[in-house]
């Protein structure tokens, strides 16, 4: 520790106390650059020296989730809830799938996995929905295999959870909301997450990220009285999934006992192919009304 840093410590703490509670490496570098002259620091107080000093002498804490594709790394000023820190350190991110199911109160379970999504930039992937070129044989082959699960995940042992960071198709934030959510902690959390309609669409498409099809079915049941099927239909049109997932959604709505007039919204889409409720099913039964293969006993 240099004498200059020790002398400047009260001013440094005051500056950080007034600033954001979650900081990236770049934000720390900028704070040091802007205040170096005011704090009377020399070139000997490099960014590395400064951060090392701050971690030792102040409330600054290092934050790291060591994901294989891109670690989530940054700093917090004092204790900051995990979910808020993740959102701040992954630009444009939001909670989705099973995590959003819990945030909307659609499950009795307490999932031990946090699903964080971020939209890809436009142009990173071809617009598969616009191409929409597949045969029945293509569908049969694809859904006979296990569903692909992201390997971009890591355990956060001190929190007792696993974090999965998903890359989502770019939809310009369609169906994403922000608000305070009370999960039983000291205070409500400020979170970004998929709204109710987007959540149900997402988990119907990827049940592997929602605890499986039984949890998806329960979520549709618990959403009654809160879900706007009209809004979900409008959002589905905007999202334009590649495969005919409207057959799944319509089936879940019907199974949960929604009004026939609302179910009919999803009957209006073309049903040109047989489809599957999930991947890699063993014995199945066929629902002719939705042209949908279901696991036997579901």
Domain boundaries, the chain: 1-78
Quick one: 187 exposed, middle or buried, by C-beta within 10 A (0-12, 13-18, 19+)? exposed
List Cβ neighbours of 111 (8 Å cut-off, separation of 6 or more): 98, 99, 101, 102, 211
Q: What is the DSSP letter of 186?
A: S
Q: What is the DSSP letter of 125?
A: S
What is the tens place of the pLDDT at every residue in 26-72? 999 999 999 999 999 999 999 999 999 999 999 999 999 999 999 99
Put the strands of the sheet holding 176-181 in their side by side order.
153-156, 161-168, 113-119, 93-95, 189-194, 176-181
Contacts of 259 (CB under 8 A, 6+ apart): none
pLDDT tens digits for 196-249? 999 999 999 999 999 999 999 999 999 999 999 999 999 999 999 999 999 999
Q: Among 191, 189, 190, 193, which residue's Cα sits nearest to residue 173?
A: 193
Is 128's pLDDT higher than 60? no
The share of the chain scoring above pLDDT 90, in percent, equals 92
């Amino acid at each position: 520790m240099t004498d200059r840093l020790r002398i400047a410590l009260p001013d440094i703490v005051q500056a950080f106390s007034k600033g954001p509670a979650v900081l990236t490496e770049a934000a720390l570098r900028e704070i040091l650059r802007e205040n170096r002259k005011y704090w009377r620091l020399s070139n000997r107080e490099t960014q590395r020296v400064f951060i090392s000093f701050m971690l030792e002498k102040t409330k600054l804490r290092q934050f790291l989730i060591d994901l294989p594709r891109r670690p989530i790394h940054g700093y917090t000023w004092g204790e900051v809830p995990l979910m808020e820190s993740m959102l701040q350190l992954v630009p444009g991110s939001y909670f989705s799938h099973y995590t959003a199911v819990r945030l909307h109160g659609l499950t009795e379970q307490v999932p031990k996995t946090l699903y964080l999504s971020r939209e890809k930039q436009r142009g990173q992937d071809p617009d598969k929905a616009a191409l929409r070129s597949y045969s029945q044989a293509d569908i049969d082959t694809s859904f006979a295999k296990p569903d692909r699960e992201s390997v971009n995940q890591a355990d956060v042992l001190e929190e007792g959870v696993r974090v999965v960071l998903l890359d989502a198709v770019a939809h310009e934030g369609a169906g994403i909301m922000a608000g305070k959510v009370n999960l039983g902690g000291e205070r409500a959390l400020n979170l970004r997450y998929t709204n109710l309609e987007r959540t149900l669409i997402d988990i119907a498409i990827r049940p592997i990220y929602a605890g499986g099809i039984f949890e998806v079915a329960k979520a549709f049941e618990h959403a009654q009285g809160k879900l706007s099927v009209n809004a979900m239909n409008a959002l589905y049109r905007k999202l334009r999934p590649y495969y005919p997932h409207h057959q799944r959604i319509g089936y879940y709505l019907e199974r949960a006992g929604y009004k026939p007039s609302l179910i009919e919204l999803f009957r209006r889409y073309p049903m040109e192919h047989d489809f599957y409720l999930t991947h890699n099913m063993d014995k199945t039964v066929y629902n002719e009304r939705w042209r949908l293969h279901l696991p036997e006993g579901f």
